[in-house]
Structure 1
């Protein structure tokens, strides 16, 4: 299966060319998302048959509240948040040109945790305060990394090294804050840091969904510039692409996706690290394609959340615990592969 497929846009006479394998991978991932989504709607304290699920989605039957108000928000949150993390990971790995360049490795998750800890320990600790503080913390860490890494020219390796250092410092600060906090506050902080989709309902997801959608739209407007940048910064500059402005914009989009997810569900690690590389290998792309990365992230997070619900049922584990375990194995494999290649 090789060669591109051309799609004609309805307006403007423009066309889009997509590799056949990439198209097949995208379709397979969409099917996997639909299958896992149906399983997620069936799974709960009591099993609902697919017929009951479809009836509830249509507004009939006895399980409308359970499926539409309890399970559906969680399934959609896993899909949207997983896609956002996969997209953020792909952005940073493209910018750094390094498979280790993901938000959790660079310290953005730790920065979001620092912001949330500030809200929990200093402020009243409401959900709105945690969300705003988490976003501000991630933006602060990203700004520091960008300023330190841009001295003498922005380098992908420098970004990763400085990001790892910032991650370590933010993690040490977070541990100090938790140790000095009161017991109830420390328990709440550690629970948030685990990363969980438990208890998520419609009131918690509308705003994050809107923010992620807006960020995706902005990123889509830069698709042509991103394609040019993938060929090399120097070549992109010769074609009229503002490389520095593009990098800053996509970094802000990646930070926005990461911080939005962390503000609602806590830092769910390793999805942003693994999804882009898995998507790239599935599509056999020389770069890190954004759409396969986003869809892979959605499949990974929803699959991890379903496993988290099943492993110790009826107790649902935080999905961040399971993603950390899976991601740790992936990280060992990735490091081993890089060492052998070197």
Structure 2
């Protein structure tokens, strides 16, 4: 089943000659998902060790309330919730781009090693340089970008196929994991404690720096994707046919992969390597919109809802003990990964 003409509408920017096509069904679903994410955000601002009613939360956001309420809502919970939304959206879009280009549901930043690169970079800053804060973000970003570049350059030798990306990424991730283990062995116990929380993926103690990192990334990348994203449907047709329909497919494909890696790198730099979100969000979206290519906006909304919902669960399930959000997404994502592997194996045997 594919979207009919009645299910689509067009937005034309006459000055630049750009035409954007939107499915009404995906637009409605995306709006509903963002509304749900906003509802979870409102809950997360009020719920926790220090509970607040919705009216009290709104009063604090409006400039009222006590100093304690202001610290809890504005300085602690609000940056954390906004970072969760942005990180989830970035991971969702990154995974959707890679899976659509590679035509493989197993291709995602955490599977192909981008998260492992960010982890190594951040751990190097913690254990060798003794850094934190902005330097930790820069270290994670550098590790993820260098890893993504290495994966693409190696895979480019024989074409950017889905299984090639997975195999190359798994190999590089294994080497980086060994490096990470070595750094942990050499570190003292304080550095290990600091690294352990980050390596699991955590939104604790997030502030304006992390909000600025992910918000700035999305502000730059979204306009780029509005232009590049139009080529995804052509790229999904395969190299030969897409090359016949549109020239410069290699350059467009490389640009989209680079964009996906940057999104995953910045999200990991802001919140740590939160596992499985980039893998699961596009798959959930695909099942909510059967028969259609995964829209990037809907994948972003799914990822945002998944991360902020998981973070709220991580704070409340075992309160006052707080789990890293990566532990919750791992519980959700690991069965999905096993299902995808089993499904791919079944299709391979029957094909």
Q: Establish whether TM, by shorter chain, passes 0.5.
A: yes
Q: CA deviation at 1:201?
A: 1.8
Q: Is the deviation greater in 223-232 or in 82-91? A: 223-232
TM-score by structure 2 length? Answer: 0.91
Render the CA deviation track for 1:11-47: whole Å, top value 9, x for unaligned: 5586543223212321221221121111111212222
2:50 to 46, 49, 54: 46
Residue 243 of structure 1 and its aligned partner are, at CA, apart by 1.4
How far residue 227 of structure 1 moved from its aligned partner, in angstroms, is 3.2
1:29 aligns with 2:33: yes
* Residues 1:193 and 2:196 are matched in the alignment: no
Is the 8 Å Cα contact of residues 283 and 292 (structure 1) preserved in structure 2? no
In 1, distance between residues paired with 2:337 and 2:163? 18
Which of 8, 19, 30 aligns to 1:5? It is 8
Q: Partners of 1:59 and 1:241 in 2: how far apart? A: 55
Following TM superposition, by how much is the alpha carbon of 1:226 offset from its aligned partner in structure 2, in angstroms?
2.5
Deviation, 1:236, is: 2.8
For 2:84, the equivalent position in structure 1 comes to 78
1:235 is displaced (CA, Å) by: 3.0
Number of equivalences: 342
- Alignment partner of 1:59 is 2:63: yes
Displacement after TM superposition at 1:282 (Å): 0.7
Q: Separation in 2 of the partners of 1:327 and 1:234?
A: 34
In the alignment, is the contact (CA less than 8 A) between 2:93 and 2:278 conserved in 1? yes
- 189-198 or 14-23, which deviates more: 14-23
Q: Matched residues in 2 for 1:81 and 1:241: separation?
A: 33
Match of 1:99 among 98, 105, 110: 105
Match of 2:188 in 1: 182
- How does 1:286-297 map onto structure 2 within 5 Å? 286-297=292-303
Per-residue CA deviation, residues 103-132 of structure 1 (Å, 9 max, x unaligned), is 000011111111112212221313222222
RMSD: 2.0
Cα deviation digits, residues 139-186 of structure 1 (max 9, x gap):
221122112211133322111111112112211221122112222222
**Deviation of residue 306 (structure 1)?**
0.6
Q: CA deviation at 1:199?
A: 0.9
What is the CA-CA distance between 1:9 and the residue it aligns to?
Answer: 4.4
Q: CA deviation at 1:204?
A: 3.0
> How high is the TM-score relative to the length of structure 1?
0.93
- 3-state DSSP of counterpart to 2:51: coil
Alignment gaps of 5+ in structure 1: none
Does the aligned pair in 2 maintain the 1:270–1:323 contact within 8 Å? yes
Equivalent of 1:271, from 274, 277, 287? 277
